[in-house]
Amino acid sequence: MSSSNCVALVTGANKGIGFVIVRDLCRRFSGDVVLTARDEARGRAAVQQLQAEGLSPLFHQLDIDDRQSIRALRDFLRKEYGGLDVLVNNAGIAFKTADTTPFHIQAEVTMKTNFFGTRDVCTELLPLIKPQGRVVNVSSSQGSQALENCSEDLQEKFRCETLTEEDLVDLMKKFVEDTKNEVHEREGWPNSAYGVSKLGVTVLSRILARRLEEKRKADRILLNACCPGWVKTDLGGAHASRTVEEGAETPVYLALLPPDATEPHGQLVRDKVVQNW
């Protein structure tokens, strides 16, 4: 490991789509690939599985709900590589449809990881992204569905080109607060905590891409959100229509956009195609 080495990193990568993204990057990315997981034992087991296939990912612990854990990873990347070339924010959670946990708790827990955890990783690691770096936030078309099911007033806010990160954070907090007070439907929110959390990820991606455009235009960093589709994973369930390999295709495509590419940037991409927002 040296600071001249390129490095790619995937969050939530001990299983599912994240695991396959790491496998594909090990095969196709010229540099080190870091597999991260919240649980060290599971993460190391995943690395061993890939080593048995002749690949050589590295492991680093990361719990995106823990700011100290994110900062330890940040310091490791800065020290060993002088930055980061590819970041794939894949870590996320979802409650099963049949789960009887009260909706307001589902909303709080889902939002904490999927939106706020992802945002914290971006806050700490985006400053490390090297010129021509690539950032991929794994979102979901359920986020787009959630947007369609919001009130017109909320839709207008989420689609607004001048919405700031602080405004978005306030909206995400309001959703959780409204579920606690059992007024979320009256306030114009849909009934999907997962959908609203992923709507947050997509809108956050648009805001962060805009900021990169303003502050680091010459560095030609491309940041996008993507929808992997309905994939057979612990999260997607056994009835899903896509294999994990198919789910990993678009995130890997965005992670490996060629150095001279200028787009997509700040988009939601599904099946390698930019989606209307």
b/e burial code for range 229-255 (CB count within 10 A of at least 16 → b): bbbbbebbeeebebebebbbbbbbbbb
Give the Cα separation of 56 and 94 in Å (integer).
30
- Return the SS3 of 33: strand
| DSSP helix, strand, coil percent of the chain (3-state; round to 5) | 50, 15, 35
Alpha carbon distance 161, 115 (integer Å): 19
> What phi and psi, each to the nearest 5 degrees, are found at residue 36?
-115, 150
- Report the candidate in 227, 220, 228 with the shortest Cα–Cα distance to residue 258: 220
Tell me if the bond preceding 264 is cis, omega within 30° of 0: yes
* Residue positions annotated with a catalytic role: 194
Dihedral, CA atoms, 269, 117, 30, 84, nearest 10 degrees?
Answer: 120
Q: Round to whole Å and give the CA distance between 237 and 96.
A: 9
Q: Which residues pair with 37 in a beta bridge?
A: 61
Q: How many angstroms separate the CA atoms of 59 and 49, rounded?
A: 12
